[in-house]
Chains A and B, each alone.
Chain A
Amino acid sequence: MDLPSPFISPRPKPPCTPSKPLATLPTCPLRSPPRKTFSPWEHRHVGSTNFNLLSSRSHTIFSLTIESSPCGENNEGEAITLSQLNLIDLAGSESSRAETTGMRRREGSYINKSLLTLGTVISKLTEGKASHIPYRDSKLTRLLQSSLSGHGRISLICTVTPSSSNAEETHNTLKFAHRAKHIEIQAAQNTIIDEKSLIKKYQHEIQFLKEELEQMRQGIVSVQSKETVEVDFVLLKQKLEDGQVKLQSRLEEEEEAKAALLGRIQRLTKLILVSTKAPHTTRFSNRPGPRRRHSFGEEELAYLPYKRRDLISDDENTDLHVNLEGNAETADDSFKEEKKRKKHGLLNWLKIWKRDTRLSALSGTSEKSCGAKSVSTPSTPQAETGNNAESRHFHSLPAQSSPSADLVSVAREVKEIYEDSLLGQETPLVSVKSIDEIDLLREQQEILSGEVALHSSALKRLSQEAARNPQKDQIHVEMERLKDEIKAKKEQIDLLERKIADSFIVKNKLDESGVSLSLTELMTQLNEKSFELEVKTADNHIIQQQLSQKIHECESLQETIGSLKHQLADALELRNLSPQPFSVTKDYHGEPHHDKESAMITNTNEKILLQEQLLCLLFPTIRQAR
């Protein structure tokens, strides 16, 4: 290596001379001898190494501070500038091969450390991030902080050697240079202020503030205008809100109205459903139907506002209910009527049975009544012959009234007879005797009825003879009536025969020896029947001929009483005179075989005589009347 070359002193020409000396070094202008300017180089520490006898073992920093002010008297008030010039000679970056022991090695380590921190600082600055920059890790970086912070101008001169032995160091140097190239620096001028300069600065600040105040006032005006606009917006918002509130209230009202209408529709549909269903329910059960409807109607009244419609609907429901009730009532009535009919049927049957019994009793009573009437006839024949037409009308009227009275009297007589018969039944032997007596009484009654019949027949002949001359048609009518009476008598005879047959059966069982008696009884019954026929025919004539006067009725009643008394007396007498009735019956037995006309013609005289004899014997009072 060559030693340093000889020195060449540069002579820079400053733009102006400084008015004041430097603070750090009491030096004269730059035109002074150059030796003094290079005095710091004397402090340079030098040592020998394997590569270089005079190797620098430390960094060298030459810092020059410059304070300048403008020239001339007029520019006294202006600012003064302050600047700093740093000339740094870094120690050489050494590798580990340089020196391995001794003082030089430690120096090398320190040198490398400072260089490393410088590199890291530069790399951090190039990154541009707001991260921590380790300026204080080494004094070198701390001194250079003001320069490296980006407010000064930097010139980095890197020296390399072409020898291949130092290739590693060369690479490192170039990397350093390449990395430093990316640092961004914004240089700025530094200034120092005096009192006058401060005054000027403050005045400038005052002006600036005034301008700001004016701007603020303008801003306030604009802000006020904005406020007015805001007020208008507020009013509009309030109006909109009020409108919204009103609309909401209207919507709510409409919704309520819709709800009410829907409710009405549902109720009406329910009504329709109920009306469709109601008749079925009412048909099955009549009672609960109307109750449900009434309750439903009440609900309708509670919910629906239109009272008239409700009333109309209620009336319709009530009408339907009434109709249904009417139907139900009709059904009930029909049931009741059926029951009543059933009851009537039973009563009718009972009544019919009772009537049958009464008819049997009437048959007996008719015989007795015939006897009574026959007694009354002989007293009236003369009057009858005089007024046939009138007598006929009168006969019709009393006939209607007389049988009722006769029936009453006959019923009483029958009761008396039965009571007597009951009293008589003390012992079986006595009972048999009483039966025989009863039979005898009956035979006597029949005989009497036969006699009455004869009298009536005689009266008829007389009436016929009298009537033949004036009116023949009436006679025919009477003949027809007689035929009808005869038929009725024949029917009665048949009934009597049946009774006789029954009595015969009973008597046969009781007494076998009584056969002869039964025969006699049969004969008597036959005679009785014949008499009955005659009696009935006479009764018909009597009814036609009777008068409507009360006197005749009283006479007939008296006669009946008399006849009953005589009958009782005759019965007592006949007990002693048993053979007489048999002879009488035999005489009358022969008559029915003969024709009526021939019998009347031939036997009229005989009959009259017999009748007179019988009447004299039985009824002495009649003789006295004649």
Chain B
Amino acid sequence: MDSKQFDRWSRETNPEPGASITVEWVSVNREISDDVTVSFLDQSSSRYLVDYCYKEDEDNELIYTREVKPHVSAAFEGHNSTVIEHGAGGSEKIHVNQAT
């Protein structure tokens, strides 16, 4: 499977009025060349292995070129292809889909 997961987050502050200072509680380990490990500060025991993780600064066009375009070309060659976007509500899924 060539499925690839990428996460996109921003450094914007929470809408909560109480929070005054932002804190990064999600860490991404890229020591491994092929895979990337995503873990949380509060829950050190849980780690998730994914193929790649895009940063917040990266643009949708980059994601399209890397993740979706090969499937389109494959479809024209005769192979069935599927692109699925899965995420919580408000995680900018539509932006990626519209980009395609």
Q: Whole-angstrom distance between the alpha carbons of A10 and B10 in the complex?
A: 25
Q: Which of chain B's residues has its CB closest to A168's CB?
A: B88
The answer to whether B90 touches A158, judged by C-beta atoms less than 8 angstroms apart, is no
- The reply to whether A92 and B88 form a contact with Cβ atoms under 8 Å apart is yes
User: How far is A587 from B2 in the complex, measured between Cα atoms in Å?
Assistant: 203
Flag if A156 contacts B96 (CB, 8 Å). no
Contact A160 B50 (CB under 8 A): no
Contact of A174 among B10, B48, B63, B71 (CB under 8 A): B48
Complex contact A88–B94 (CB within 8 A): no
Q: How far is the CA of A157 from the CA of B40 in the complex (A)?
A: 20
Task: Please tell me which one of the listed residues A5, A158, A185 contacts residue B86 in the complex, with CB atoms under 8 A apart.
Answer: A158
CB atoms of A66 and B75 under 8 A apart: yes
Q: In the bound complex, do residue A10 and residue B79 qualify as a contact, i.e. CB atoms below 8 Å apart?
A: no
- How many angstroms from the CA of A89 to the CA of B96 in the assembled complex? 10
Contact among B71, B79, B98 with A189 in the assembled complex (CB-CB below 8 Å): B79
Q: Are A84 and B88 in contact (CB under 8 A)?
A: no
Which residue in B42, B91, B99 is a CB contact (below 8 Å) of A159? B91
Is B14 positioned at the interface, with any CB of A under 8 Å from its CB? yes
In the bound complex, residues from chain B placing their C-beta under 8 Å from that of A89 are: 85, 93-94, 97
Q: How many A-B residue pairs lie within 8 Å, measured between CB atoms?
A: 234
Closest CB-CB distance, B23 to chain A, in whole Å?
9
Q: Which of A7, A12, A41, A158 has the most CB of B within 10 A?
A: A158
Enumerate A37-70 residues with CB–CB distance to B below 8 Å. 38, 41, 49, 51-52, 55-56, 60, 64, 66, 68
B3 CB within 8 Å of chain A: yes
Q: Mark A1-21, 1 if CB is under 8 A from B, else 0.
A: 100110110101011000000
Q: Are B50 and A157 in contact (CB-based, < 8 A)? A: no
Q: Which of A56, A155, A159, A185 contacts B4 (CB 8 A)?
A: A155
Q: How far is the CA of A181 from the CA of B5 in the complex (A)?
A: 9
Contact with A along B58-98 (1 / 0, CB 8 A): 00110110011101111111111111111111111111111
The answer to whether residues A88 and B9 also contact, given A153-B74, A178-B49 and a CB cut-off of 8 A, is no
- B63's closest neighbor in chain A, by CB? A157
State whether the Cβ of B31 lies closer than 8 Å to any Cβ in chain A. Answer: no
Indicate whether A244 reaches chain B with its CB closer than 8 angstroms. no
Q: In the complex the two chains form, is A160's CB within 8 Å of B9's CB?
A: yes
Report how far A98 CA is from B79 CA in the complex, Å. Answer: 39
Query: Using Cβ atoms and an 8 Å threshold, which residues of chain A touch B93?
Result: 56, 89-90, 92, 159
Residues from chain A with a CB closer than 8 A to the CB of B63 are 157
Q: CB distance B50 to A152 under 8 Å?
A: no
| B3–A181 CB distance below 8 A | yes
Contact B83 A87 (CB under 8 A): yes
Most buried by A among B7, B77, B96: B7
Give the distance in Å from the alpha carbon of A88 to the alpha carbon of B83 in the complex.
6
Distance in angstroms from B16 CB to nearest chain A CB is: 8
> Which residues of the partner chain A approach B25 to less than 8 Å between Cβ atoms?
162, 164
The reply on A177 being an interface residue by CB < 8 A is yes
Whether A190 contacts B99 in the complex (CB less than 8 A), given A85-B75, A153-B74, A155-B71, comes out as no
Which residues in B have their C-beta under 8 angstroms from that of A81? 77-78
Q: How far is the CA of A166 from the CA of B7 in the complex (A)?
A: 14
A147-B80, A152-B80, A153-B71 are contacts. A55–B89 as well, Cβ < 8 Å? yes
Q: A8-B99, A162-B9, A181-B49 are in contact. Are A88 and B79 (CB under 8 A)?
A: no
With a CB–CB cut-off of 8 A, which chain B residues contact A152?
A: 79-82
Q: Chain A nearest CB: distance from B3 CB in Å?
A: 4
**What residues on B are CB-neighbors of A85 within 8 Å?**
71-72, 75, 80-83
Cα distance A85–B16 when bound, in Å? Answer: 41
Given A162-B24, A177-B48, A181-B50: A153 and B88 within 8 A (CB)? no
B44 in the interface (beta carbon within 8 A): no
1/0 per position for A85-129, CB-CB distance to B under 8 A? 111111111100010000000000000000000000000000000
Pair A90/B49 contact, Cβ less than 8 Å: no
The minimal Cβ–Cβ distance linking B13 to chain A, given in whole angstroms, is 10
Complex interface bits, A184-200 against B, C-beta within 8 A gives 1, otherwise 0: 11011111000000000
If the complex has contacts A51-B89, A51-B90, A56-B94, are A178 and B100 also in contact, measured as CB distance less than 8 A? no
Please name the residue on chain A nearest to B48 by beta carbon.
A174
Say which residue of A41, A154, A162, A190 sits within 8 Å of B84 (CB atoms): A154
Residue of B84, B90, B95 ringed by the most chain A CB atoms within 10 A? B84
A183 close to chain B: CB less than 8 A? yes
Q: Which of B24, B84, B88, B94 has a CB less than 8 Å from the CB of A160?
A: B88
**Quick check: is A144 within 8 A (CB to CB) of the other chain?**
yes
**Chain A minimum-CB-distance residue to B25:** A164
The residue among A90, A155, A170, A184 with the most chain B CB atoms within 10 A of its own CB is A155
Give the docked Cα–Cα distance between A601 and B44 (Å): 202
Q: Does A175 sit at the interface, judged by CB under 8 A? A: yes
Q: Are B38's CB and A153's CB within 8 A?
A: no
Decide: A10 near B86, CB < 8 A? Known: A68-B76, A83-B75. Answer: no
Across the interface, which residues of B come within 8 angstroms of A60, CB to CB? Answer: 97
A171: which B residues are within 8 A, CB to CB? 46
Separation of A176 and B48 alpha carbons in the complex (Å) = 10
Cβ B91 vs Cβ A86 within 8 A: no
Contact of B87 (CB < 8 Å), options: A160, A164, A189? A160
Asked if A399 is an interface residue, CB under 8 A from chain B, the answer is no
Is B21's CB within 8 Å of the partner chain A?
Answer: no
Which chain A residue shows the least CB distance to B7?
Answer: A160
A/B interface sample: 28 pairs, CB < 8 A? A8-B61, A55-B89, A68-B77, A81-B77, A81-B78, A83-B76, A83-B77, A85-B82, A86-B81, A87-B100, A90-B87, A147-B82, A155-B84, A156-B5, A156-B84, A157-B5, A157-B6, A157-B84, A158-B6, A159-B86, A159-B93, A160-B7, A161-B9, A169-B87, A181-B49, A184-B1, A190-B79, A191-B78
What residues make up the interface of B, taking CB atoms closer than 8 Å to A? 1-11, 14, 16, 24-26, 38, 40, 42, 46, 48-51, 60-61, 63-64, 67-69, 71-100
The 3 tightest CB contacts between A and B, nearest first, are: A92-B89, A81-B78, A159-B87
Interface residues of A (CB under 8 A from B): 1, 4-5, 7-8, 10, 12, 14-15, 38, 41, 49, 51-52, 55-56, 60, 64, 66, 68, 81-94, 98, 144, 146-147, 151-167, 169-171, 173-178, 180-181, 183-185, 187-191
